[in-house]
Chain A
Amino acid sequence: MNSEPIIQLIDVKKRFGSQNVLKGINLSIYEGKTTVVVGASGQGKSLIIKHILGLVKPDSGKVIVYGKDINKIRKKELKEIRSNFGVLFQNAALFDSMTVFDNVALPLRERTKANEEEVKKIVDEKLDLMELEGSDDKYPAQLSGGMRKRVGLARALVLNPKIVFFDEPTTGLDVALSNEMYRVFYRTQTRLGYTAVIVSHDVPKILKLADYVALMHNGVIQDCLPPEDFQTSDNPVIREFVQKTMGYIYESEEVEG
Chain B
Amino acid sequence: MNRISIETAVGIFIIIGLLCLAYISLKLGDIQIFASNHYILKARFNNISGLKEGSEVEIAGVQVGKVSKIILDNDQAVVELLINPGVKIQEDSIASIRTQGIIGDKYIKISPGGSEEYIKPNGFLTETESTVDIEELISKYIFEKKKE
Physical contact A–B (CB less than 8 Å): no
**What is A's interface to B at a CB cutoff of 8 Å?**
none
Residues on B facing A (Cβ under 8 Å): none
